[in-house]
Amino acid sequence: MDSLFEYRNCPGCGQNDFEVLFESNIKPDDFNVLFDYSMEGHDSQEGMEGYLVPGKEWGRHVRCKNCRLIYMNPMEKVSKTNEYYCKAKNTHAPTIRECYLRIAKSQVRLIQKYASGTNLLDIGCAQGFFLFSASRAGYTTKGIEISQDAAAYAIREFGLDVKAKPFEELRFPENHFDVVTLWQVLEHVPYPLMMLKEVHRILKPGGLVVASTPNIEGIPAKILRKRWWDIKRLHLNQFTTKTLADILQNAGFKNMSAVSYRGFVSLSILLTMTLKYLDAYERLKALFNPDHILGKMLNKIMLIYSSRLNHCVVLGFK
Ligand SMILES: [Zn+2]
């Protein structure tokens, strides 16, 4: 059983001195069952089948005694999770499209306040909602997305320049980009410090990096604890605004600041999540089909919130 997992030193500072916060409840045999997107062969028409499952499975979480970063240790083998990401299907795109496009616009407005050039790279660009908004605002955009299906969506729907490859394989030139963004990426990355050092290398001097992650000190995390929806099998690192700023600093960035943007959540996503917490989603899921009139309506009604509620957003400069 142990061979399914690998141990790592603290991904924030490299030390190996930690306290255990809670133990794992992963059942290795069910590897594909509870991921948040449908797998090939388990297609769902609704596109919300496994989406936003409240934390049901997680690995052992530890806190580094040196830098206070919370991370999964051991974690599942990187080769196994990478294989999952490559094959992950993008069936929930129609459901999230409207609200993610609105979020993307707020994210672009945030970038515009701080960026000094327009050559932009988005790492882990998913379906390309942010890149699409950025390109409409005049940025020259490139995206990287390991999920083949999400990358294909970004190319097909928005005509974006997106590479479906791991970031480490794409050796971009040094001092090349004005802006690099990592929206909800670092919590998935086994070695985030290594990734951020590479981001630092490819940014121009004075270039802007923006990273967002779930916030383990946010209100939902404090109330729901292990049942918080962002405690899950694929979230290998759990940041606070402080530990996110620290890891950026360790990668060489300076003048970090915590910022926020306006978030949007459709009634459809909010209700789905609530019903999943109440174990009532299965009985009512037909209501959320985006192809039907009610599903369409629920998708159109948006609630506005501040990203501060559940996310850390930190920017810094090279
Ligand atoms: Zn550490």
CATH of the domain at 156: 3.40.50.150
CA of 272 to the centre of ligand 1 (A): 36
pLDDT tens digits, 47-75:
444 455 666 788 899 999 999 999 999 99
Asked if residue 276 belongs to a domain, the reply is no
CA of 42 to the centre of ligand 1 (A): 38
pLDDT of residue 104: 97
| Higher pLDDT among residues 262 and 280, named by residue | 262
Asked if residue 162 belongs to a domain, the reply is yes
pLDDT of residue 158: 97
**Confidence check: pLDDT of 199 > 90:** yes
Domain count of the fold of the chain? 1
Which residues constitute the domain of residue 136?
A: 104-260+309-317
Which among 258, 285, 263, 290 has a CA at the least distance from the CA of 272?
285
CA of 68 to the centre of ligand 1 (A): 6
**Confidence check: pLDDT of 107 > 70:** yes
Range 37-45, long-range pairs (CB < 8 A, 24+ positions): 37/88, 37/89, 37/90, 37/91, 37/92, 37/147, 38/89, 38/91, 39/84, 39/87, 39/88, 39/89, 40/87, 40/89, 43/89, 43/91, 44/91, 45/91, 45/289, 45/291
Asked if residue 146 belongs to a domain, the reply is yes
pLDDT tens digits, 133-190:
999 999 999 999 999 999 999 999 999 999 999 998 999 999 999 999 999 999 999 9
* Range 115-129 average pLDDT: 97
Asked if residue 23 belongs to a domain, the reply is no
CA of 52 to the centre of ligand 1 (A): 29
Asked if residue 81 belongs to a domain, the reply is no
Range 100-105, long-range pairs (CB < 8 A, 24+ positions): 100/127, 100/129, 101/129, 101/132, 101/133, 102/264, 102/302, 103/129, 103/130, 103/261, 103/262, 103/263, 103/264, 104/129, 104/130, 104/132, 104/133, 104/134, 105/133
| Higher pLDDT among residues 53 and 225, named by residue | 225
pLDDT of residue 288: 77
* Range 213-228 average pLDDT: 93
CA of 206 to the centre of ligand 1 (A): 27
* Range 290-305 average pLDDT: 85
Asked if residue 238 belongs to a domain, the reply is yes
Asked if residue 90 belongs to a domain, the reply is no
CA of 222 to the centre of ligand 1 (A): 22
Share of the chain above pLDDT 90, in %: 64
* Range 314-318 average pLDDT: 98
CA of 62 to the centre of ligand 1 (A): 10
| Higher pLDDT among residues 33 and 294, named by residue | 294
The Cβ-side half-sphere exposure at 13, using a 13 Å CA radius, reads: 15
**Confidence check: pLDDT of 125 > 80:** yes
Q: Which residues are near ligand 1, the ion (C-beta closer than 5 Å)?
A: 10, 12-13, 64, 66-67, 69
CA of 69 to the centre of ligand 1 (A): 6
